[in-house]
Amino acid sequence: MSYEKLHSLAEQERARQKKLKKRVFCCTSTACLSAGAAKTMSTLDEAVSACQCDENEVEAVSTGCMGLCSRGPLIRVESQGEDPILYGDVDANTTVQIVAKHVPLVENIEPLDVDADEEAKKRIQTQERLLQAKSEINLDKHVIPLDDPFFIKQVKVVLSEVGQIDPESIEDYLAHGGYTALMHVLQNMTPEEVCEEIRRSGLRGRGGAGFPTGVKWNYARMEEADQKYVIVNGDEGDPGAYMDRTVMEDTPHRVLEGMIIAAYAIGANFGYLYVRGEYPIAVQRLRRAIRYARRRRIIGKSVLGTDFSFNAEVRIGAGAFVCGEETALIHSVEGKRGMPRIRPPYPSASGLWGKPTIINNVETLANVPTIITKGADWFAGIGTEKSKGTKVFALAGQLNKTGLIEVPMGITLGEIVFDIGDGIQEGRNFLAAQTGGPSGGCIPANFLETPVDYENLTKLGSIMGSGGLVVVDDTTSMPSFARFFMDFCVDESCGKCMPCRVGTIQIRTLLDKLLQGEATSSDVEKLEDLCAFVKTTSLCGLGQSAPNPVVSTLNYFRHEYAALISEEISEGIEAE
Amino acid sequence: MSQQLRTRKASEPHPSGDDRYKAIDLAARQFSYEKDALLEILNIAQQTFGYLSEELLFYISNSLDIPMSQIYGVATFYHLFTFEPLGKHNCTVCIGTACYVKGSADIVEDLGKKYDIEGGGTTPDGYFSLVTARCLGSCGLAPVVVLDGEVMGRETSESMLKKVDAIFDEAEEETGSE
């Protein structure tokens, strides 16, 4: 398919959407689904079609995450010439009320005929329900104001189409400007220029380490090889984080577009999307996206009629946290045990099957199309000196509002917790924010004014990580919180290197001793030494960062550890 | 030669007559018996059979021509693969960070205590399994529990004990009526 055809496809879809008087969006992302969104969506479909208005005027759309997961299921009504209205906690009854309020019902309802077929009967029943609902509309407590700090403090780049489009429709993505970046790159830019543009934008890896993406691409571009690979890292193992899943599920084409641009930039013509096995919907939607893209010649031999060819395949992970590490991930794609190896050589020189390979996180690649269309300078204008752009966080824990948020780098932790998250539940006090999952640390209240970026979080003993942000209140015991993460690391340590395999178990044993009230002050010293040892001598990122939760809580909440030391045993030892 | 042997084998039904092996054959053929497809095929096997039995692993070893030792190494490395069948009813409790801070560990402990199984265990009669998961990705609704395929949010120990008790009551009624 040529550029013109793709453009006209986008135009057609845009024109169709413009004609619609009302569009009712229902979030069917995983979080809302577990709150009952499947029922909400089917009721919405039934109710809208029972209204029997012209299908060119009203449509019900199943869309992706709207962000405020704690109020799910969510429905948004967009009417021509009016501000959109968002409803939360929408069950089947509320759905009927929403449709009764916003969608005009057919005037003459047929009387219920006993001989009518099942479908007609159901329709008439729904119509009667709608009619009744019209007289008892009470939606005030469901309306969520869109000028709430939860929404206005956010800046959407990666999530700009999430919750706006139907993830299964390539036309919808095209209508929202999808694949224009790819077209621009193929028509007007050399691979070298693409790498330079990404480098200038200041985009850094969103998977945790924060390596400059453009630099990584350029290394791989300069390698000479008959075959190069791109791997998308969608193995989101951090418990309490679901940013990448949402991006893969709700804008699969954005990930694909970023991936194809990356492939063009380094000269690769094959790519793997490595997706966590626990995300079946993401796998299904990405596979479908690849199929649709192939049909439109966006993937395949001669992409969009150029002499660049590219193919992609989805690979399913099977649940191993260490596979987030790039060399481990490569082994996993090769069908082996996902164990890391010593670097160098870096994958950009010798990766998958010994060929130059780049591995980028889902969110990193999802930034790429926007950087190309809006320019590196625009992107570099957001954020702090060394951390550019936005970051998606999965905001969870004991907050009033939780969900998926995208904020500019440099926003303070306090703004995230108290403005976006609307403070701590039940009026309790903020104790700590945990970022970076099992590899990160806890940040206490006196750093709430710190701007969030890669450097600051590292300085505070945590990491940016992939974007899990869990807030805990003062009922949480920090040593047992640290033990929770250590338990995770023990379980996930791949066993290759000694410090991580044995060290994590020993740290957990010491924490257990402490929590059972059998530890002495020398045990706490031992704990500190051991943490430093594991941190400095482990082979890969998992081991090197595994002590972070313990070290950071020891730093900021030492009194909690001190309170657990058994005086009796300590004195006994001293007496000896 | 070996390729020929394998293809012929794939066209014949598994000696047990179990149709589910066809899914494995199909997948192996799709990946042209490439060794790097092992993880994919194990995933399909786990989905189709619910767990990986020794016989099944031998079958995969044969069709991909990978030594059993290697297959076992890979299969035991990843958490998604299980080697025992699940119970008739099963309950998955999320112990991701968000669910943990909202008390999901208590749910696991209380359920485990009451029915005398550990997280990841099945009752001796194979009736009920208690499984833990690392983040189901519904952190906004923490703590999240999946009971027999139904996802439930904001659960507590009490609410879960009640629901699981109901499942066990059902079992007693069944045996009582027999």
**In the beta sheet, which residues pair with residue B94?**
B133
Which residues on chain A are in Cβ contact (under 8 Å) with B36?
A: 333-335
- Cα diameter, chain B: 62
Cβ atoms of residues A437 and A546 within 8 Å: no
- The full length of chain B comes to 178
Which residues on chain B are in Cβ contact (under 8 Å) with A35?
A: 138, 140-141, 153
Strands A390-397 and A468-473: parallel
Interface of B with A (CB under 8 A): 35-40, 42-43, 46, 73-74, 77-81, 95-102, 105, 133-142, 144, 151-153
Query: To the nearest whole angstrom, how far is the Cα of B15 from the nearest Cα of chain A?
Result: 28
Determine the Cα–Cα distance for residues A278 and A308; give it in Å rounded to an integer.
34
Strands A390-397 and A357-361: unpaired
Shortest CB distance from A30 goes to which of B37, B77, B138? B138
Contact B77 A338 (CB under 8 A): yes
Cβ neighbours for A100, distance < 8 A, ≥ 6 positions apart: A47, A130, A131, A133, A134, A137
| pLDDT score recorded for residue A569 | 80
| pLDDT score recorded for residue B8 | 41
Query: To the nearest whole angstrom, how far is the Cα of A499 from the nearest Cα of chain B?
Result: 19
Which of A461, A465, A460, A471 is closest to A415 using CA atoms? A471
Query: Domain locations in chain B?
Result: 2-77, 89-177
Query: To the nearest whole angstrom, how far is the Cα of A321 from the nearest Cα of chain B?
Result: 9
| pLDDT score recorded for residue A1 | 64
Q: Tell me the pLDDT band of B1, cut-offs 50, 70 and 90.
A: very low
| pLDDT tens profile A57-71 | 899 999 999 999 999
The answer on pLDDT for A562 being more than 70 is yes
Q: Which CATH architecture has domain B89-177?
A: 3-Layer(aba) Sandwich (3.40)
Mean pLDDT of chain A: 93
- Amino acid in position A568: E
Helix ranges (H only) for A493-547 are 498-515, 521-537, 541-545
Average pLDDT over residues B112-132: 87
Determine the Cα–Cα distance for residues A315 and A472; give it in Å rounded to an integer.
35
Which of A552, A393, A412, A362 is closest to A469 using CA atoms? A393
Half-sphere exposure of A546 (CA within 13 A, CB side): 35
- Span of A255-269, A505-519, B164-178 with lowest mean pLDDT: B164-178
Determine the Cα–Cα distance for residues A303 and A6; give it in Å rounded to an integer.
12
Which residues on chain B are in Cβ contact (under 8 Å) with A277?
A: 43, 78, 80
Which residues on chain A are in Cβ contact (under 8 Å) with B74?
A: 335-337
The answer on pLDDT for A102 being more than 90 is yes
**Which residue, among A27, A34, A435, A472, would best test binding to B if mutated, counting the most B CBs under 10 Å from its CB?**
A34
- Amino acid in position B42: L
- What chain A holds in terms of domains, given with CATH numbers, is 19-147 (3.40.30.10), 177-380 (3.40.50.11540), 390-476 (3.10.20.600), 479-572 (1.20.1440.230)
Contact B140 A402 (CB under 8 A): yes
Average pLDDT over residues A187-203: 96
| pLDDT tens profile A225-250 | 999 999 999 998 888 888 999 999 99
DSSP letter string, A218-239: HHHHHS--S--EEEEEE----T
Contact A242 B134 (CB under 8 A): no
Query: To the nearest whole angstrom, how far is the Cα of A80 from the nearest Cα of chain B?
Result: 31
Work out the percent of chain B whose per-residue pLDDT is above 90.
Answer: 47
| pLDDT score recorded for residue B2 | 45
Work out the percent of chain A whose per-residue pLDDT is above 70.
Answer: 99
| pLDDT tens profile A384-418 | 999 999 999 999 999 999 999 999 999 999 999 99
Determine the Cα–Cα distance for residues A24 and A318; give it in Å rounded to an integer.
37
The answer on pLDDT for B4 being more than 70 is no
Determine the Cα–Cα distance for residues A217 and A203; give it in Å rounded to an integer.
12
The answer on pLDDT for A466 being more than 90 is no
| pLDDT score recorded for residue A504 | 97
The answer on pLDDT for A573 being more than 80 is no
Query: To the nearest whole angstrom, how far is the Cα of B51 from the nearest Cα of chain A?
Result: 13
Cβ neighbours for A558, distance < 8 A, ≥ 6 positions apart: none
φ/ψ of residue A313, rounded to 5: -140, 150
**Which residue, among B71, B94, B139, B145, would best test binding to A if mutated, counting the most A CBs under 10 Å from its CB?**
B139
Q: What is the ipTM of this complex?
A: 0.88
Which of A22, A36, A164, A25 is closest to A89 using CA atoms? A36
Radius of gyration of chain B (CA): 20
| pLDDT score recorded for residue B141 | 82
Which of A349, A296, A290 is closest to A315 using CA atoms? A290
Determine the Cα–Cα distance for residues A144 and A151; give it in Å rounded to an integer.
10
| pLDDT score recorded for residue B178 | 46
CA–CA–CA angle A243, A291, B38 (5° rounding): 75
Determine the Cα–Cα distance for residues A467 and A311; give it in Å rounded to an integer.
29
DSSP letter string, A301-357: SSGGGSS--BEEEEEE--S-GGGGSHHHHHHHHTTS-------SSPTTTS-GGGS-E
**Which residue, among B76, B92, B100, would best test binding to A if mutated, counting the most A CBs under 10 Å from its CB?**
B100
Task: Indicate the SS3 state at residue A471.
Answer: strand
Tokens of A402: 């939780």
The answer on pLDDT for B3 being more than 90 is no
Contact B97 A396 (CB under 8 A): yes
Is the bond preceding residue A345 a cis peptide, omega within 30 degrees? Answer: yes
| pLDDT score recorded for residue B142 | 84
Query: To the nearest whole angstrom, how far is the Cα of A235 from the nearest Cα of chain B?
Result: 13
| pLDDT score recorded for residue A576 | 67
Tokens of A328: 């481990």
The pTM of this model reads 0.93
Contact A396 B139 (CB under 8 A): yes
| pLDDT tens profile A494-550 | 999 999 999 999 999 999 999 999 999 999 999 999 999 999 999 999 999 999 999
Cβ atoms of residues A61 and A25 within 8 Å: yes
The answer on pLDDT for B7 being more than 50 is no
Shortest CB distance from A69 goes to which of B78, B81, B140? B140
| pLDDT score recorded for residue A35 | 87
Helix ranges (H only) for A334-429 are 362-374, 376-380, 413-414
Average pLDDT over residues B117-132: 86
DSSP letter string, A552-576: HHHHH-HHHHHHHS-HHHHHHHHH-
DSSP at A53: -
**In the beta sheet, which residues pair with residue B91?**
B130, B147
**Which residue, among A337, A501, A542, would best test binding to B if mutated, counting the most B CBs under 10 Å from its CB?**
A337
The answer on pLDDT for B9 being more than 70 is no
